[in-house]
C-alpha cells in the first residue's frame, strides 16, 4: 500500500539523523506528557475552530471534533511512545490521506503542527528544566519527529498531485481518441438505423421480431446518446441564446428519463418561474443527466423531487433523491470527467452538467439532502 512511504521515511530518518538517543528522549517525555494529551488536543482544535477557513474544512463541524480529539490523543501517544517503525509511518500516511481527501489545504498543517510544537516544548521544560542536557536532547528529538510528521503529510499531498497529473494526461489522450472514435461510430450507427427502418416495413405481423427491433432501436438511441455526451465534452457546442421556459425544459427532461414503478417523481414550483436566457437543448441535457442519476440512486424504491424557486435575480433548481447520497471519496471530484462509481458508468454526466451550467453564467453544487440522499442545486441567471 504505502511501500513508497516506507522507503522515503527510512531515508528521511537517516537524513535527520534519527537515532536511539532521540527515541529514548521521546520516551522519557512520554510519562510526563500523557496527562496533558487531552489538553493539547483541546488547544489544537480550539485553534482550528477559531480560524474560519480551516474550520470550514471540518465538514462535520463541532460534532465531529469530539471524535477527532480522541484520534489526536492516540496520535500524540504514539508520537512519544513509538515504536517509530514501518507500521508507524503507514498509520501516519493514512491520516495524511484523510487530510487530502477532505481537501485540507496543506499550509494549515504547519500552523497546526506548531500548536503541538509549542505545547510539547512547554511540557518538556516543566519536566526537565533542572536537567539541561536531557532537556536539550528532548528538544532535538521533538524537532526531528515533528518535522518527519510534516514530511509524511506533505508526501501524501505529493502523491495526490501525481495522481491528478496522471489523470489530466489520460484525459487529453482520451479527448483525442474520443473525438475520432465518436465521430467514426456515427456512420455505422447511421447504417444500422436505416436498415432497421427498412426491416420494420418487412417483418409484417411477427410480434416477437417487432419487439427485438424495438430493442435494437432503443439501444441505438443509448449508443448515440453516449457519443453525443462524449463529443460535447471535448468541444463546446455553440450556445443558442433564446428565452427559455424552465417548466418546458424540465417537463421534456422528465419525459425521457425512464424510472421504475417504485420511484416517484415530483416537480414543484415550476409555474411562474422567470424565464432564463440560453440553450433549451443543452439545458434539457442538464436535467436529463441529473434526473437519470437521481432515479438510479433512488432505485428500486424511493423518491425524486425537483424544486424550483426564483432566488435573487436567479433561478435555483434543486434535484433531490432519497438514495444513499454521494460518498465522501467521490464528492471532491464529483464534477470532474471520468469520475464514476458505476459498473457501466463513464463519468461524464455531471462534468457536462457543470460545463453547461457555467456556460450559461450559472453554477451547480452538491449537498447532502437533509434526511439522507443527494441534492444537486443548479443556479441560472434569470
Pick from 344, 341, 300: which is nearest to 322 by CA?
A: 300
When the beta carbons of 325 and 362 are compared against ligand ADP, the nearer one is: 325
Q: Closest Cα to residue 31, out of 124, 113, 141, 146?
A: 124
Q: Which residue's entry shows cell 521515511?
A: 9
Question: Binders of ligand ADP among 37-66, rule CB under 6 A?
Answer: none
Taking CB atoms within 8 Å and a gap of at least 24, the contacts of 45-54 are 45/69, 45/72, 47/111, 47/112, 47/115, 48/108, 48/112, 51/108, 54/104, 54/108, 54/112
Residues 314-373 that bind ligand ADP (CB under 6 A): 321, 323, 325-326, 330, 334, 339-342, 345-351
Helix and strand numbers (H, E) in the chain are 13, 7
Q: Are 330 and 268 in contact (CB under 8 A)?
A: no
Cβ nearer to ligand ADP, comparing 130 with 327: 327
By C-beta, is 142 or 348 nearer to ligand ADP? 348
CB of 311 to ligand ADP, least distance (A): 21
- Whichever of 96 and 373 has its CB closer to ligand ADP, that residue is 373
State in angstroms the smallest separation of the CB of 294 from ligand ADP: 5
Q: Which is nearer to ligand ADP, 144 or 375 (CB)?
A: 375
Neighbours of 83 (CB within 10 A): 10
Window 244-283: contact mask with ligand ADP (x via CB under 6 A): ----------------------------------------
Residue 52: CB minimum distance to ligand ADP, A: 29
Interaction residues for ligand ADP, span 163-192 (CB under 6 A): none
Nearer to ligand ADP, 182 or 323 (CB): 323
CB of 287 to ligand ADP, least distance (A): 12
Whose cell is 507500521? That residue is 87
Element holding 377 (H helix, E strand)? strand 374-381
Question: Which residue's Cβ lies closest to ligand ADP?
Answer: 349
| Residue with smaller CB distance to ligand ADP, 232 or 321 | 321
Min CB(303)–ligand ADP separation in Å: 12
Instruction: Give least dist CB 263 to ligand ADP, A.
Output: 12
Q: How far is the CB of 225 from ligand ADP (least distance, A)?
A: 12
Phi, psi (degrees; rounded to nearest 5) at 103 = 75, 30
Q: Residue 242 region, left (φ>0) first, then alpha (ψ -120 to 50), else beta?
A: beta
Residue 126 neighbours by CB distance under 10 Å: 11
What cell was used for 292?
A: 437519470
Least distance (Å) between residue 59 CB and ligand ADP: 17
Residue span 276-315 as binding mask against ligand ADP, x where in contact by CB under 6 A, dash where not: -------------x---xx--x------------------
Give the separation between CA 254 and CA 292, rounded to whole angstroms: 9
**Residue nearer to ligand ADP on the CB measure, 119 or 325:** 325
Rg for the chain (alpha carbons), in Å? 28
Q: Which residues bind ligand ADP (CB under 6 A)?
A: 289, 293-294, 297, 321, 323, 325-326, 330, 334, 339-342, 345-351, 374
Amino acid at each position: 500500500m504505502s511501500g513508497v512511504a516506507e522507503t522515503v521515511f527510512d531515508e528521511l530518518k537517516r537524513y535527520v539523523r534519527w537515532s536511539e538517543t532521540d527515541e529514548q528522549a521521546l520516551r522519557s517525555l512520554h510519562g510526563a506528557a500523557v496527562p496533558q494529551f487531552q489538553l493539547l488536543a483541546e488547544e489544537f482544535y480550539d485553534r482550528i475552530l477559531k480560524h474560519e477557513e480551516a474550520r470550514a474544512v471540518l465538514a462535520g463541524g463541532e460534532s465531529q471534533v469530539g471524535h477527532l480529539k480522541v484520534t489526536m490523543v492516540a496520535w500524540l501517544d504514539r508520537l512519544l511512545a513509538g515504536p517509530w517503525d514501518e507500521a508507524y509511518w503507514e498509520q501516519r500516511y493514512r491520516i495524511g490521506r484523510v487530510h487530502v481527501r477532505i481537501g485540507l489545504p496543506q499550509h494549515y498543517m504547519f500552523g497546526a503542527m506548531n500548536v503541538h510544537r509549542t505545547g510539547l516544548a512547554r511540557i518538556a521544560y516543566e519536566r526537565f528544566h533542572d536537567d539541561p542536557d536531557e532537556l536539550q536532547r528532548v528538544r532535538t528529538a521533538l524537532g526531528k519527529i515533528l518535522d518527519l510528521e510534516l514530511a509524511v503529510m506533505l508526501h501524501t499531498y505529493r502523491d495526490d498531485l501525481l495522481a491528478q497529473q496522471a489523470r489530466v494526461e489520460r484525459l487529453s489522450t482520451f479527448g483525442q481518441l474520443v473525438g475520432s472514435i465518436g465521430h467514426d461510430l456515427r456512420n455505422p450507427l447511421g447504417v444500422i438505423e436505416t436498415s432497421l427502418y427498412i426491416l420494420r416495413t418487412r417483418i409484417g405481423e411477427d410480434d416477437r421480431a417487432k419487439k427485438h427491433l424495438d430493442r435494437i432501436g432503443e439501444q441505438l438511441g443509448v449508443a448515440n446518446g453516449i457519443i453525443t455526451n462524449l463529443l460535447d465534452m471535448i468541444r463546446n457546442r455553440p450556445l443558442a441564446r433564446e428565452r427559455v421556459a424552465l417548466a418546458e425544459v424540465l417537463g421534456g427532461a422528465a419525459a425521457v428519463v425512464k424510472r421504475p414503478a417504485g420511484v416517484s417523481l415530483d416537480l414543484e414550483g415550476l409555474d411562474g418561474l422567470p424565464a432564463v436566457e440560453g440553450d433549451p437543448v443543452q439545458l434539457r441535457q442538464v436535467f436529463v443527466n441529473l434526473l437519470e442519476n437521481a432515479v438510479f440512486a433512488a432505485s428500486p424504491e424511493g423518491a425524486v423531487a425537483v424544486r424550483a424557486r426564483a432566488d435573487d435575480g436567479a433561478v435555483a433548481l434543486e434535484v433531490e433523491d432519497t438514495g444513499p447520497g454521494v460518498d465522501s471519496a467521490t464528492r471532491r471530484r464529483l464534477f470532474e470527467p471520468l469520475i464514476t462509481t458505476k459498473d457501466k458508468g463513464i463519468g461524464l454526466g455531471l462534468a457536462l452538467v457543470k460545463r453547461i451550467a457555467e456556460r450559461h453564467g450559472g453554477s451547480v453544487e452538491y449537498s447532502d439532502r437533509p434526511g439522507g440522499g443527494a441534492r444537486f442545486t443548479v443556479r441560472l441567471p434569470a
